[in-house]
Amino acid sequence: MDLNIAVLSGDGIGPEVTNESVKVIDVISKKFDHKINISEGLTGAIAIDKKGNPYPDETHQICEKSDAVLFGAIGDPKYDNDPSAKVRPEQGLLEMRKKLGLYANLRPTIVFESLINNSPLKKDRIQNTDLIFVRELTGGIYFGKSGRKDNGNFAYDTCEYNRYEVERIAQLGFEMALKRKRKLCCVDKANVLESSRLWRETVQNMESRFPDVEVSYEFVDAVAMRLIQWPSEYDVLVTSNLFGDILTDEASVISGSMGLMPSASIGAKNALYEPIHGSYPQAAGKNIANPVGSILSLAMMFEYSFNLEKESNIIKQAVKNSLKEKITTQDISGNNKTYSTSDVGDFICNYINS
């Protein structure tokens, strides 16, 4: 199979963790006899430094011509600490999402049995947790009308959705639920917000198309509580941009390390896969960052963009084995021996090859 992957390593630890995923791509291509073409592009702070633009046109063209995008991280302290900076690395990610039409963010939360004691939550609360958020990514309060008046003393942000936007994200959630445990939770605030009532009404109208999916409706504040109490009761959760932004960060703590979790941003024609951790500039260049989030993002790519389940499953199994054998970086090694970023990547590649 011929596959074209755009690789945007970005800033901070992005290049280091992405490099380990590229090693995995090479192993997978040889083991399963795929021809995988990699095209690299600049984005983020490094793109500003070299091109004056956090998402240059040539990078966008590389992404458009690809079947999927593997992304590292964006961010640099020299921009974070400069309030006067007119161009920022994060603008590149927003521009990329907009231009590629990436309307859905998929964020899984998985508890690995071998690391269950790393979580700040009790074992009996989180055991068997395997859920995924489907977050709407291009609408809602982040994109609605906003501004100031009354000499800057009055501020407003408007949450706006149309029915098509809700149907599109809910459709993806229902389809994912059919492939999993056939449970879908619509997360909203329909007791207060008109936009949430549109969400609930739209999902209710779609239920008859998916009779095999058990649908529930919960207010966002209740979900925030139950994610800590009984996260294993959830399967697929569909929600708006703002609610999804907050809840996915909350859920990321359940596994015990943000460095473990992957994500995907899905569009009609393309998709971008990235670990949920940031650029972590303090660790850049030290070969200590956890590459598992990036490698599991690659596994999501093979599953969702390419429908190659064998390839995806062997990557996930290799990661589970590395965690079980305690071949881990310092963020999760505890009292065990610590391995470097490249050590972990090599172990995973050798497992796939075996």
Q: Just list the catalytic residues.
A: 142, 189, 221, 245, 249
> 53: which residues sit within 8 A by CB, 6+ positions away?
47, 87, 92
**Distances from the Cα of 158 to the Cα of 140, 145, 186, 193, angstroms:** 8, 5, 21, 11
Q: Any bridge partners for residue 146, and if so which? A: 157
Can you tell me which residue has the tokens 């489907």?
Answer: 134
Quick check: helix, strand or coil at residue 73?
strand
Identify the H or E element spanning 149: strand 146-149
Distance CA 302, CA 65 (A): 17
Nearest CA-CA partner of 60 in 86, 36, 95, 90: 95
